[in-house]
Amino acid sequence: MSPERIGVYVCHCGSNIAATVDVEEVALWASEELGDRGVVVARDYQFMCSSLGQELIEADIKEQGLTRVVVAACSPHLHERTFRTACKRAGLNPFLCELVSIREQVSWVHTDRAAATEKAMAVVSGGVERVTLHQPLEPLHVPIHPATLIVGGGIAGIQAALEIADSGYPVYLVEREPSIGGHMAQFDKTFPTLDCSACILTPKMVDVGGHPNVTLLTWSEVERVDGYVGSFTVTVRKKARYVDESVCTGCGICTEKCPVRVLDNTYEAGLGYRKAVYRPFAQAVPKYPVIDRENCTYFQRGKCKACQLFCPTHPKAIDFEQKDEILQFQVGNIILATGYDLFDCRRIPQYGYARLANVFTSLEFERLCNAAGPTGGKIVLRDGVTEPATVGIIHCVGSRDHNYNPYCSNICCMQSLKFGHLVKERTGAEVFNFYIDIRTAFKDYDEFYQRVLEDGVHFVRGRVAEVTDAARLPGEEGKLIIQVEDTLLGKQRRIPVDMVVLSAALQPRQDSTEVAYTFGIACSANGWFIEKHPKLDPVATMTEGIFIAGACQGPKDIPASVAQGAAAAARVLGRIHQKELALEPVRASIIAERCSGCRICNNLCPFNAISYDTARMITEINPALCQGCGTCVAACPSGAITGTQFSNEQVLAQLYGLLLLNVSSGPVQQPQPALVPA
Amino acid sequence: MSEPFEPVIIGFTCNWCSYRAADLAGTSRVKYPPNIRLIRLMCSGRLDPTFVLKALAGGADGVLITGCHPGECHYLEQNYKTLRRFTLLRRTLAQFGIEPERVRLVWASAAEGARLAVEIGKMVEEVRALGPLNWQGVIADDGDPPIAIYHPQSEWVQGVAA
């Protein structure tokens, strides 16, 4: 005899259920056959979800002292909340109500009335057995710390930082390089409007740099993230700059006096030089330089110190004794905006990059075009003086190619069109674009394509087979010959050019999988961070409190990155305003006395909710990190892990009910005690 | 003529994909045989292999395990763990002398209502063809080893004896 007082409510749903299932018979059966199992009331009603239907349940809870409620109606995904709320109004814990589906999973999919009615009975019986073992639960409330960590100071991170900081909440912006700005700071013009990239970016960089709510940590990396949504503890390594930021005025005299010239592979993409003490570019934020230890004469040979000697501040801002600093702080939410890496064009040897001098990558070409770049904005060959008379631009280098990356890199078409336009505008050279498809799908993009067509840029449809300097025909001497099958003409062509630009693919950051691991999120097979839902939740991740924005989620251009940065900020601000977050109480927990410390469960959790306590030699589960999948519950050989709302006992009880082992008319006279643990 | 055998099949579904596929089958009014009774779990990774054994021991003639397609798990990768357990479980069941067709793993996304219905239909037919399992009662619950293992006609015993 069950100690619980259970009410069973069978819904007609007009004729949706009643047409196929004899609902009155089901209710009658439940009150007669399941009386022993605790059912004290069983009713059928036209529309259980109507206010009258809900009042019926509420009245029974109050008058009949029901302790459990089973509603047999539509899918729990539709009305579970409705009936839980009704129970709550009547003073019953909402988790003591179970909604079983006899519409989507019985009446709508079956035609035989007798069989459907019998199945409905079994489904109700399963619900009754399960609900008996339900426990009153409360949603888990976690407070949300108002600060936010943003990783990556490219345009997406900058946008997110400004949105949050402008709303009055503290932001920690962590950037690996000496300055924020990201890839956008390297570009010359932005498509399709041809705005100067620096002109629209640098004001935002300055805003971030001087914002009272932003703590800017450049030349820093996140080492560790502990905790969970609402209260993450972040450990950041602030690498030694060897420059005291509290004294430095950013005058630049140290850079001027430094005797070492270093090839700048990062900002200038290998086309220009910088000093050993340097700012990546003139408008860098923050303005303080960094000493590059590997190339600094003092650090390598023990003497020089020219920078310190000439530093005009008192005390000297140059500090060779500076050490890496480890900072620790609390944040409530994290936004990852770590951007992308450019495809290494040397991986396609037939295109000749790094072998043939005048083959450039897209990033190198951006620097060539940039007025602040190594050539002062002149488009010239590697010799630094000769203007090209013909330029070939190859699309989809490393994209849409199963040997490298199967995906489309999204920006290359527009970028190549922009390059074509800039070459035409600045040199008057002839331009050939080699493309597979032209993808100009956003606002004003196709108009730009039309404009470039009118500029007289040539388009050859076909994937380039080879770029070579081996001349075969007259007119090819001293040129780079692009061998391509023109698929519109249907013939092989050899097009001699002076300069080749490779529109290289966007790739996930080299360390994206490690970063994903640090933050407890997932990467797709290609290495991009995975969003919670590709359409309906594009900036959240499966880990509560971690958001993603910009190209780290997949190749995207500046407008899309800015939109995602703002979207992630809006999501975070919503959280901060709620002040606390209610988490579903479907969680796993460990019964410490039963845990043998075998650690079988330790590697099963993708959310890092499971940790091993070496002192007590048992495993622990952090309820705020646990997402409630139950994989560890199923794996525990000692039965030490239980899942609220989906415990072994509850699932087996439902099974017992579904198989009708609980009723005398069922297939077994005596219920098997072993099947339902007490 | 005796009535045709109507098998009872227990289906384990994932809250995020296959349970929603079952809902979709309903809203699209796709028909399938009423022999299956579904249990909702949060994830196929929650499926303890003993659930399957208990179901078979309790009178089910077959068990259908469903989850998200590989790579689509709501909890990132837990369905791969289901796959591992399923592979192991099938071997165990074979040793018990249970036909492998009685326990089946089907991936069904939330959009595959019709496909899930087809798979259920196929499974019901196959299990019907196999006949009743009648494991219940064969297995004693007093802690003694299940009788089926020692059954002289059990393939496993024959295999060992040979």
Q: Are residues A609 and A537 in the same domain?
A: no
CA distance B74 to A377: 49
Residues 6+ away with beta carbon under 8 Å from A489: none
Whether pLDDT at A187 is above 90: yes
CB within 8 Å: B26 and A105: yes
Mean pLDDT of A381-394: 95
CB within 8 Å: B58 and A661: yes
Mean pLDDT of A610-621: 93
Q: Which residues of B touch A103 (CB under 8 A)?
A: 26
Helix (H, G, I), strand (E, B) or coil at A459: strand
Q: Are residues A548 and A445 in the same domain?
A: no
Mean of pLDDT over chain A: 93
Whether pLDDT at A359 is above 60: yes
Rg (CA), chain A: 33
Residues 6+ away with beta carbon under 8 Å from A61: A7, A69, A87, A90, A91, A92
Q: Are residues A493 and A524 in the same domain?
A: no
- pLDDT tens profile B84-108: 999 999 999 998 889 989 999 999 9
- Tell me the CATH number at A611: 3.30.70.20
CA distance A338 to A529: 10
Pair A567, A538: CB distance under 8 Å: yes
Q: Is residue A98 in a domain?
A: yes
| Beta-carbon count within 10 A of B160 CB | 9
Q: Is residue A40 in a domain?
A: yes
pLDDT given for residue A623 in this prediction = 86
- pLDDT tens profile A553-583: 999 999 999 999 999 999 999 999 999 988 8
CB within 8 Å: A659 and B8: yes
Whether pLDDT at A247 is above 80: yes
CA distance A104 to A81: 17
The model's confidence at residue B4, banded by pLDDT at 50, 70 and 90, is: confident
- What residue in B sits closest to A633 (Cα-Cα)? B46
Q: Is residue A460 in a domain?
A: yes
Give rounded-to-5 percent helix, strand, coil for chain B: 45, 15, 40
Q: Are residues A578 and A597 in the same domain?
A: no
Candidates A105, A111, A652; nearest CB to B31: A111
pLDDT given for residue A71 in this prediction = 97
Mean pLDDT of B40-66: 93
Percentage of residues in chain A having pLDDT higher than 90 = 87
CB within 8 Å: B41 and A111: no
Q: Which residues of B touch A635 (CB under 8 A)?
A: 81
Least confident window among A139-143, A341-345, A414-418: A139-143
Q: Which residues of B touch A123 (CB under 8 A)?
A: 37
- What residue in A sits closest to B120 (Cα-Cα)? A109
Q: Which residues of A touch B60 (CB under 8 A)?
A: 659
Percentage of residues in chain B having pLDDT higher than 90 = 58
Q: Is residue A659 in a domain?
A: no
Give the pair of three-digit tokens for residue A433.
């674009």
The model's confidence at residue B149, banded by pLDDT at 50, 70 and 90, is: very low
Chain CA centroid to CA A412, Å: 22
Q: Is residue A620 in a domain?
A: yes
Whether pLDDT at A175 is above 90: yes
Q: Are residues A187 and A333 in the same domain?
A: yes
- What residue in B sits closest to A643 (Cα-Cα)? B46
CA distance A116 to A520: 45
Q: Are residues A226 and A309 in the same domain?
A: no
* DSSP of A116-141: HHHHHHHHHHHHHHHHHT-----PEE
The domain tally of chain A equals 5
Whether pLDDT at A121 is above 90: yes
* Domain coverage including residue A559: 141-238+326-339+510-583
CB within 8 Å: A631 and B45: yes
Q: Are residues A180 and A232 in the same domain?
A: yes
Q: Are residues A245 and A266 in the same domain?
A: yes
pLDDT given for residue B159 in this prediction = 32
Q: Are residues A79 and A169 in the same domain?
A: no
CATH class of the structural domain B9-133: alpha beta
Whether pLDDT at B143 is above 70: no
**Strand (E) or helix (H) holding A231:** strand A231-238
DSSP A94: G
- Tell me the CATH number at A171: 3.50.50.60
Whether pLDDT at B110 is above 90: no
Q: Pairing state of beta strands A148-151 and A97-101?
A: unpaired
The model's confidence at residue A674, banded by pLDDT at 50, 70 and 90, is: very low
Pair A582, A368: CB distance under 8 Å: no
Q: Are residues A209 and A68 in the same domain?
A: no
The model's confidence at residue A180, banded by pLDDT at 50, 70 and 90, is: very high
* DSSP of A270-294: TSEEEESEE-SSTT-SS---EE-GG
* Domain segments of chain B as ranges: 9-133
The ipTM, to two decimals, is 0.86
Whether pLDDT at B2 is above 90: no
CA distance B98 to A188: 69
The model's confidence at residue B145, banded by pLDDT at 50, 70 and 90, is: very low
- Residue of A74, A99, A105, A131 best to disrupt the B interface, most CBs of B under 10 A: A105
E strands in A46-92: 68-73
pLDDT given for residue B136 in this prediction = 59
The model's confidence at residue A1, banded by pLDDT at 50, 70 and 90, is: low
Question: Which residue has 């043998």 as its token pair?
Answer: A596
Whether pLDDT at B111 is above 90: no
Whether pLDDT at A102 is above 90: yes
- Residue of B13, B42, B43 best to disrupt the A interface, most CBs of A under 10 A: B42
Whether pLDDT at B158 is above 50: no
CB within 8 Å: B45 and A630: yes
Q: Is residue A671 in a domain?
A: no
Q: Tell me the count of A-B CB pairs closer than 8 A.
A: 141
pLDDT given for residue B137 in this prediction = 55
Q: Are residues A402 and A470 in the same domain?
A: yes
pLDDT given for residue A672 in this prediction = 39
The model's confidence at residue A665, banded by pLDDT at 50, 70 and 90, is: low
Pair A124, A163: CB distance under 8 Å: no
Percentage of residues in chain A having pLDDT higher than 70 = 97
Mean pLDDT of A237-254: 95
Q: Are residues A477 and A368 in the same domain?
A: yes
Pair A645, A557: CB distance under 8 Å: no
Question: Cα torsion at A235, A241, A247, A249 (round to 10°)?
Answer: -120
E strands in A441-594: 458-461, 464-468, 480-486, 491-497, 499-504, 506-508, 546-548, 580-583, 588-590
CB within 8 Å: A675 and B58: yes
Comparing C-alpha atoms, which of A32, A81, A87 is closest to residue A54? A87
Q: Which residues of A touch B33 (CB under 8 A)?
A: 110
